[in-house]
Amino acid sequence: MNYDIVVVGAGASGISAALSAAQNGAKVVLLEKGDKFGGAGMFGAQGLFAVGSKEQLEHGEEYTIKDAYEEIMNYTHHSSNARMTKAILRESASTIDWMKENGLNSELVTNTQEVHQNHPRTYHQFIDKFNGFKRIIDNFLKAGGTLLTETSGKEIIQNNGQITGVKVSSRGKEKILNTKAVILADGGFVGNKDEVDEYAKVNGEDMYSMGERKADGDGLRMLKEVGGVSNYKRIFENHAATVFSKKNLKWHNNTIFTLTNLPTLWIDKEGKRFTNEDIVYDFALWGDTVYQAGGYYYFLLDQKLVNYLKSNSLNWTNSFERTFRLLDGQPMTYKVGPFKNIENDLQEAINEGAAFKADSLTELAKKAGLDEAALQESIKRYNHLVKKGEDTDFYKDSRFMNVPVEDGPFYAVRANSTTLGTVGGGLVNEDFQALTADRKVIPGVYVVGNNAGGLFDSSYPTIEGLSNTFAWNSGRIAGRVAAKLI
């Protein structure tokens, strides 16, 4: 079978690359390891970032490519690839129109996180997402493209430095697809336990992955085999924290989930307070602070707060409320609770090994494996600051300095570092052509989406939807360039 371009991976970046290449005249085959296309870009993401879109201009949003460029470059201390950053931003508005033309529409909405409400609106939320992705694929097929599910890339074949084929495994059988170019878009390596353990700065067992489990690093491995760089700025998309059961990964409790999203007292594995807990309202920064704290922390509740929440609301905001309310089209409540079954819910977490309950702080420290003296001192200090109504240690907003930890029994609930996936590894230029270690282009090899390094630095940035924008726009650029160069 002969193709101009083989695209490995049918998530957002791969779909974008395949459609772009096909609409620019190339004969394209799109490979998907699973039995469904879409990946994390469809099943996880709800929208994407853009700057200078028609909707933004119509609504008078004063936010330019220059503003976005400077925000990103300052966030990464100018360690981002400047040409790549500019290319993604310059493409982003037209990509919104292009997606709409091909069946996946979006609308400009308020930014989804509470602390981003004063930032110009840049988040374009999908409308009719699943049907929209289906229409995108239909347009790819109409443009002459081929979609092969349950098919994964295994090896890139070269002859005298030129790409001649890709060895694939399709439903248990291996075959060669003849091609002139390959675009690696299979989503990073979050599904590869060994590589996660190697590159994570925390114990991989303490990380909860929301990423695409089929993304096991095959694309980066193939890149390395043809002389590319596969370990350039491999980072994790740290995103918030979550309580999960190591016994049962499907376990979920809505009360516990909501309590995790509040700025109560947090204690790290040393038994010490380590941050201003209102960082909970910025998912990227929340994710970063958990990661640097060693992968998990405990949020503490006392019986007085538990009793209060049985029949009363707390006038705080669930940090995820706006995200969910936007999706449902409902107004914000700015309240949490009541939780009439809170004690049963906490007991569930205890039964799952995700929480501890004790009548005394001495017993709590023992159960949770914390230094008792550090825990006692941290709580004593925190209660003193609550009494003052001012956090002079880490400067948490005084609105949240009204819940001490005083009356036993006490609860410690473990919140773990959460990742949306991995980003980076592949060294590329602004056209997403793969580069060797000495920055020479590898003809016919392109790397996009979560496989590509260069935009992000040490973490997922605070600009909402930027990761998905990177996927769609890197794929679109690579598909167009590859089609022109074959």
Q: What token pair was written down for 17?
A: 């690359």
Helices (H), 129-207: 129-142, 193-199
**From residue 402, how far is each of 24, 56, 307, 377, 432 by CA, in Å?**
60, 39, 15, 18, 51
Residue 2: what residue type?
N
| Per-residue pLDDT, 380 | 98
Ranges of the chain with pLDDT below 70: none
Q: What token pair was written down for 377?
A: 């001192």
pTM of this structure: 0.96
Tally of CB atoms within 10 A around 2: 10
**From residue 280, how far is each of 236, 283, 366, 367, 397 by CA, in Å?**
18, 6, 27, 26, 12
Q: With contact defined as beta carbons under 8 Å apart, do 250 and 442 qualify?
A: no
Spatial strand order of the sheet with 105-109 comes to 47-49, 123-127, 105-109
pLDDT tens digit sequence for 208-229? 999 888 999 999 999 999 999 9
| Per-residue pLDDT, 420 | 94
In whole angstroms, what is the distance from residue 244 CA to residue 418 CA? Answer: 10
Beta strands 28-32 and 5-8: pairing type? parallel
Q: With contact defined as beta carbons under 8 Å apart, do 46 and 122 qualify?
A: no
Q: Which residues pair with 354 in a beta bridge?
A: none
pLDDT tens digit sequence for 333-392? 999 999 999 999 999 999 999 999 999 999 999 999 999 999 999 999 999 999 999 999
Spatial strand order of the sheet with 441-447 comes to 146-149, 28-32, 5-8, 181-184, 441-447, 433-435
Q: What token pair was written down for 176?
A: 């060669």
Separation of CA 201 from chain center = 17
| Per-residue pLDDT, 327 | 84
Q: With contact defined as beta carbons under 8 Å apart, do 422 and 449 qualify?
A: no
**From residue 224, how far is each of 41, 80, 155, 184, 191 by CA, in Å?**
25, 22, 11, 12, 18
Cα 61–Cα 464–Cα 462 angle in degrees, nearest 5: 110
What phi, psi does 50 have (nearest 5°)? Answer: -155, 155
